Amino acid sequence: MISINKKVIVCFLIFVFSLKASGKEEKFRYTSITIKNDSLLCSFEVNNLFNEDIIEGLKKGMTTVLEFKIQLWNKRSLWIDKLINEDIIRYKINYDVWGQRYIVYKNDQKPRVLDIDGVKELCQNLKHYSLTSLQELQNEKKYIIGIKVTLRPISVENYEEIQRWVIGEAREIDTDVIKKPRKAGEKAGNWILGLLLNLSGFGDKVINARSGSFYLRNNQIIRQEIKKN
């Protein structure tokens, strides 16, 4: 049973972070949708993925995984929308304590060593990303781009070790902690920790970014208003 003190703490945290989240910050933006070399390209940026809590967690040994799921849809008014193309870009970010730099792995590419500004520039921006060739598109047909951004700093298996860190029993995260399968009923007992992790910035962040519809005319892109969720 939750004690009165824990209830007060949880209510206070919900209140504080609700106030913080109430600010109207632009989460994402499609900076361009263009045609170049017979390909449909888009540029996209997302803001404030790497806040101070996540940066501090990385420095303490947490691994962060970032995923962009990119889809191009043909919007059809009298039928269900048709998926034209889909791609997934994944990043894994670690912190090198000795070099005091971040190591970023992108799909199967060689890792890059960057400072935090370089991490933000690389991981929060898609520049001139090729969606498909023009041969896959038709004039005057409506299209929509959908991008799902998922930032996953932790895994459920690490809750016990992270809990020790959150409450101050451990100064550092033990990255070698063994991942043990959980017994039935244990997940329900960790709901307060899950709430704290999400409120403090350590939980998953998910952004669904849908562009406004656009169409092709005379090898030019005609864009309509962008919708944000």
Residue-level pLDDT, tens digit, the chain, 229 residues: 444 455 544 444 444 444 444 445 678 999 999 999 889 999 999 988 888 888 888 887 778 888 999 999 998 877 888 999 999 999 989 899 888 999 999 987 899 999 999 999 999 999 999 999 998 899 989 999 999 998 887 554 555 555 555 555 544 444 444 334 344 344 434 444 454 455 445 556 789 999 989 988 888 888 876 544 4
Question: What is the rounded (10 degree) CA torsion for 210, 211, 214, 216?
Answer: -100
The strand ranges marked E within the chain are 28-36, 39-46, 64-75, 82-96, 101-106, 112-114, 125-133, 142-152, 205-210, 214-217, 220-223
Q: How far apart are CA 30 and CA 128, in angstroms?
A: 11
Position 50 in a domain: yes
* Position 1 in a domain: no
Instruction: Please tell me the predicted confidence (pLDDT) of residue 16.
Output: 43
Under 8 Å between Cβ of 52 and 32 = no
Q: How far apart are CA 129 and CA 67, in angstroms?
A: 15
Q: Give the tokens for residue 10.
A: 């949880």
Given this model, what pLDDT does residue 186 score? Answer: 43
In a domain, 75, yes or no: yes
Our count of domains for the chain comes to 1
Q: Give the Cα separation of 66 and 152 in Å (integer).
A: 6
Assess if residue 6 is contained within a domain: no
pTM above 0.75, yes or no: no
| Tally of CB atoms within 10 A around 224 | 12
Query: Does some domain include residue 112?
Result: yes
Q: Residue 112 corresponds to which tokens in the numbers above?
A: 């890059």
Give the pLDDT score at 32.
92
Q: Are 191 and 199 in contact (CB under 8 A)?
A: no
**Residue 181 maps to a domain:** no
Cα 1 to the center of its chain, rounded Å: 34
| Domain coverage including residue 218 | 27-153+204-223
Residue 88 placed within a domain: yes
Torsion of CA 69, 21, 166, 120, to 10 degrees: 50
Contact 207, 28 (CB under 8 A): yes
In a domain, 3, yes or no: no
pLDDT of residue 73: 94
Pair type for strands 28-36 and 214-217 = unpaired
